Structure 1
């Protein structure tokens, strides 16, 4: 953890986010945009997977998955930069560590879904029990990560 903290501190110094409120605010805004793209895209796909939004066809699901992936990349990249502003505080925060664990589970779930969608056809996975399980897990994990992210500020 000490080495990780040192690496993140170095990143904070390089980006200047640790020393500049406007930079921190800009990165934070990008982080929120990434979260919006991620959650906005994936929730609709998940609702399709669990059978609550049957009207989404495979083309729409593909587009929403791309949006969610782009949002995840943006949220993760900006999240790392935000943590670099105060790495020791974040790495000592149990809620932050819980958030990372939940994100890891959500990403593993997404990776498994992607693997299944490539191995079989997307349409087959959309209408399978594995797809329903992936959607249900995702509907629990991503909002949990979001809630933990908000909770960090209060611990």
Structure 2
């Protein structure tokens, strides 16, 4: 664990995020953009899977899922960079650790959904119990991750 914290600390120094307020602010802004690109489309997909927004066809859902993947591709690495500014503090913060756990669960749920969608086809998951359960778990997990992320600032 010490080696991981050391690497994380080095990352903060190498990127300049640990030493530069403008760099930290830019990465923070990128993180917010990533969260927006992740959550907004995935919320629409989840609402459709849960039986709402029936006007969203599988083509629209495909575009939304791709956009959410782009958002995750921005949010996760930028979040790692943000935490590299003060890894010891973040790793000692129970709220941060809870957020990490929730994000891992949300990503695992997303991967399981993607595997099922590729194997069975997306239409097979629409308006079915498995799709609804995945969607409701996704909404709850991503909302929890966002809430915990905001709470970190106050802990």
How high is the TM-score relative to the length of structure 2?
0.98
8 Å contact from structure 2 (residues 51, 132) kept in 1: yes
Residue 35 of structure 1 pairs with residue 35 of structure 2: yes
CA displacement 1:42-90 (0-9 Å, x = unmatched): 0000000101211100000000000111101100010011011000000
Q: CA deviation at 1:126?
A: 1.9
Aligned to 1:51: 51
Distance 1:92 1:24 in 2: 20
CA displacement 1:70-127 (0-9 Å, x = unmatched): 1011000100110110000001000000000001110111011000000011111123
Instruction: Look up the SS of the partner of 2:55 in the other structure.
Output: coil
Q: CA deviation at 1:31?
A: 0.3
8 Å contact from structure 2 (residues 51, 126) kept in 1: no
Runs of 4 or more above 2 Å deviation: none
Aligned to 1:149: 149
Aligned to 1:14: 14
CA displacement 1:17-45 (0-9 Å, x = unmatched): 10010000000000000000000110000
Q: CA deviation at 1:5?
A: 1.2
Residue 96 of structure 1 pairs with residue 126 of structure 2: no
Aligned residues: 155
Unaligned runs of 5+ in 1: none
Residue 75 of structure 1 pairs with residue 75 of structure 2: yes
Greater Cα offset, 1-10 or 21-30: 1-10
Distance 1:143 1:61 in 2: 20
